[in-house]
Structure 1
């Protein structure tokens, strides 16, 4: 019996003797674990401790804690306490040197960030099927996926944002989350799942629950997590979704196996086939349990980032109405030039819209840090600085986003900031696009593990905003400001209950 099964059985029995045993064991382990959790590694790297209660600040004031640390250590490697123990923050000058280090030496630490074994009961290396499939197939099929995204926007936006002649309140994030879940399911998975209400509900809730589950698990030392997992409601919901998704995908996989035996079979373009093609273990090719987890991960990562970005853009359109008219005029002009039908080329010409979205992302990226890596071996940099074996490193993206040396008046929302930077000189033309990556623009990561879906996400966000601007007006509720950003550890969420007013344009 596994430890997880043993603990689950133990907790479900609830006899007095067992509860006493659990309580005493948990208390002892907690004491020992917390002592080791706060022990500072003796590696000679300077430690920065934010002012005040640094643990509380990491959980609830993370952006400002990182900005404070970055302001004093921007050009050097430094150590800081995180909810996963002590980690190393990188200065921008090391990113180019580190970005293409091989995974055998410097792999992504995102699986550790999510604490994958508690969420996804499959062998760790099999989760890489998602990453491989996206890198190999996603951009190759970008034109056909763009058409699916365009059809999805045309069909689904009127459903989620219905006709409304008078100013009406709308909870933006749940509405956008459902819309993006449907569109992403259509363009990534297909097979009719975009019309399956249960799958869409699972996809939408999974997005939230994997982030909250991992965030809550990170509060506990690794020695405490085998017990703590059973008290996290969002994690139990993740397990339920894994199980139900398996049941929904099983008949689709069975039908695929049947169809591919036919003489006139033509392989469809969808993420299920990408993973089937990449499966190095033949048993994985048609395993509904594995496919369920991988498709939910794929959906969650793409749905979460895209829906949060669109939500924040809508909040900003309501807060700064002067940009709504500006972007609407740009959309009309580009749509007319394209003959009344959006194309990938016409999307690329929406430079002001691109800038507005990028400025929104600068102010409210979904993670306060990116470029999370773990050193499998000691890495010696060109200047002699060493990253010790076993260390987890990151780049404090939120701090760079508000660096006054990089962005004058960084606290001010300037929707045309990146448009002006692009046109400041000819060499800047391609430097400051939404999907651009550099040491100063790290919202999508960098190097070997940069976000592979940022191109289709960029088109999708622009398509949805162009549709919404054409059909609706937005404004804040009377007497209320912009819905606030919710912070927890390194996550920044748009207020899930935030409301603004919308109506059809007259």
Structure 2
């Protein structure tokens, strides 16, 4: 029996099969596959091309067999046994996977066809953020093959769910190939360190996908360089090519003790003679556990144990997909449907493809449109019901309990939640002003240890962001592991080398963004205007000035000196965050959840976002990295850092200007540090400004950017150690602001004490309590392994900009209102310094 909602399937289909002359050809009258009970029938939307697509039919001729492995499409029918297989599919689901093309046992099995029968347990759901083309390019063939290679042949420890605690270095030969980029992603995700070889023109690509180090496989000394890099201890090799050159290189790089060698092509017999090597040949179709009726060593008997491993592996892959942890190789879409497949196969045979995955769209536009409607309508996750959270007490406003009040007065309710429940270890729920998301939960600090080191497969900040800001509907740049890695490791490691440049950009940025003698508008001047020499006071909006300078200093670190002085790049950096907020507001107001898929085509907000991203690509040209991806990474880093850093800087400046007793002492400390280093800043010199650091941290405590921390959405239901249960889809967070105002933690918490943290460093621990540090009582930058990766850069940027302001300018509030700080702004759980308040500046002169 078959479950189906599409009874009008055609009797015939177009396919590519092997003819009697043993050549591939297009056949327009092939029958549809016969659906077995454990399979789903898929209407093909796109296919990806692999070298095996020509190697299989050439090595193992089987006239009449349909060719092709990787596919993506829409489920049209479901076999009767599928519901019992612990997989959940519905008609209209978008899926991808791989089948055994050129199969001599089952001719109808290939993917180069309009309709495909795919085993349900080896079929994957496409995540919302991924297109049919991208899903096909990600490829079930590579994922299946690599599962066997990494965990069965190399026997690497760790899984995506529980990464290895003892990372191993793994050589991936040919890392710029599609299988190489997937392999390096998987190795990172299970806790290991990939190194790779490829042509120098693809080094940036390999680095982007996770390579720790890249070597030129054209160099005669390549193997020796790898051996030296790994200190003659390399134990694991993945070789997708397994030809004479690759074997010589990989064996030459292997450590003295030998190790494991996974081949993705049949290896020569002499490789087995190396006693220190354990060699294994891996074939993708073997993961299904079926008998493979092939020749020349490619044949396999049925293997139930392998099939069981394959089912587990596909569940892990689906887990990674659901949480955005995998991305495809850069792809190239060939127009022309089935003719394009034949063309692409010839391109692969002639080795004229490098650094790209060839993809061909099979489904027509009308089919894709209908599929999109089905998919979007069926994929809307309902909010968590109140009944599901009935075990958690709820706190509301006593009067005027409207969504608007939650956006303007949430701080008072958070303190009420903390005093009544959270400080006593009791979780609490409160209304979410975005009603469609259901209630939100506040957790007491006793749960922080379980959350702060948890996998994003369990508690996800990206999922939280997507729910709140509708990122999948606005075409906004999203968080990637590569971007976080760049900041957490590479940027932080190089802060010392960046300090001087950041200081100079702060000097020149302030000059450039102040009005010239003709009274031109501040913060809209092109860069490198003549230095300000007037003794007159200049009045400017504080936030606008500091945001422009922060954007310039940040861009120096992220995109280099040329673009950091480009007015258009600065404008994109400043506008991206507001564009995301505006897009979410517009889409949520105009479209109900079931119809938001239309926003990409109808709403101006996603169009503006795409235009900004496209312009970012143009500004980043030339670049040896895939431009769309690097542009998205840069825009995401901008969103994550620009306005939070600008707001923190503005807030600190406001606090300094209304407290002259601190301002004088800190200015003297800054001048002393500047005189000592002579303008050549090192991190050691910056660290000597302890009073400034303490003042910044107290400003962050009293005037935080956000009232809560560690925002997450539950990916799946979870029960904490003490029995607290949260269902899937719940948004939760921790009460950072309330903790920072707890008198048992911070005595006299409502008083601003600029040297509070300096005293703690002097009396408790000199290495704690600095501005960028995090702990269970210092939550301004989050907590645990998911704390803000750019917090050290933020601290350095704020300090260096303040150094310039305090040593080169006289600064005062334009309207201090009896010495009071300009009023903060509030929205939901966020607070920010006034963006309207103005400051007055004039240049200091010696004598």
Distance 1:379 1:37 in 2: 17
Structure 1 position 92 matched with structure 2 position 445: yes
Q: Structure 2: which 5+ residue stretches go unaligned?
A: 1-44, 46-93, 95-127, 129-376, 515-531
Structure 1 position 203 matched with structure 2 position 567: no
> What SS is found at the alignment partner of 2:840?
strand
Match of 1:354 in 2: 693
Structure 1 position 470 matched with structure 2 position 807: yes
Per-residue deviation, residues 315-342 of structure 1 (Å, max 9, x unmatched):
2222222221111111122233335532
Matches within 5 A, 1:363-402: 363-402=702-741
* Higher helix content, 1 or 2: 1
- Deviation of residue 414 (structure 1)? 2.1
Q: Is the 8 A contact 1:50 1:69 kept in 2?
A: no
CA distance 1:215–1:142, shift in 2 (3 Å)? farther
Match of 1:78 in 2: 428
- Deviation of residue 131 (structure 1)? 2.0
Per-residue deviation, residues 215-251 of structure 1 (Å, max 9, x unmatched):
66667863465578899876664343223223323x3
Q: Kindly name which structure, 1 or 2, has the bigger radius of gyration based on alpha carbons.
A: 2
Structure 1 position 117 matched with structure 2 position 472: yes
Distance 2:586 2:769 in 1: 35
Match of 1:259 in 2: none
Per-residue deviation, residues 94-128 of structure 1 (Å, max 9, x unmatched):
11232111122222233433321133367x7x733
CA distance 1:54–1:184, shift in 2 (3 Å)? same
Match of 1:42 in 2: 388
Match of 2:751 in 1: 412
Distance 1:328 1:490 in 2: 33
Structure 1 position 315 matched with structure 2 position 662: no
Distance 1:198 1:330 in 2: 36
> What SS is found at the alignment partner of 2:429?
strand
Q: Structure 1: which 5+ residue stretches go unaligned?
A: 4-28, 257-284
Distance 1:316 1:121 in 2: 34
Higher relative contact order (CA closer than 8 Å, sequence separation 6+): 1
Structure 1 position 504 matched with structure 2 position 843: yes
Distance 2:505 2:561 in 1: 14
Match of 2:593 in 1: 222
Distance 1:229 1:157 in 2: 39
- Deviation of residue 54 (structure 1)? 4.6
CA distance 1:455–1:320, shift in 2 (3 Å)? same
- Deviation of residue 59 (structure 1)? 0.8
Per-residue deviation, residues 118-157 of structure 1 (Å, max 9, x unmatched):
33367x7x73332233234222222223333223223323
Per-residue deviation, residues 28-76 of structure 1 (Å, max 9, x unmatched):
x9xxx9xx76952433222222333252222111222212222211222
CA RMSD in angstroms, aligned pairs only? 3.1
Matches within 5 A, 1:7-406: 40-43=386-389, 44-52=391-399, 53-74=401-422, 75-82=425-432, 83=434, 84-108=437-461, 109-120=464-475, 127-161=480-514, 162-190=532-560, 192-214=562-584, 222-223=593-594, 225=596, 237-249=608-620, 251-253=621-623, 256=624, 285-286=625-626, 288-406=627-745
Q: TM-score, normalised by structure 1?
A: 0.79
CA distance 1:429–1:490, shift in 2 (3 Å)? same
Q: Is the 8 A contact 1:183 1:194 kept in 2?
A: yes
Distance 2:816 2:786 in 1: 44
Distance 2:792 2:638 in 1: 16
* Higher strand content, 1 or 2: 2
- What is the aligned residue count? 441
Q: TM-score, normalised by structure 2?
A: 0.48
- Deviation of residue 455 (structure 1)? 0.8
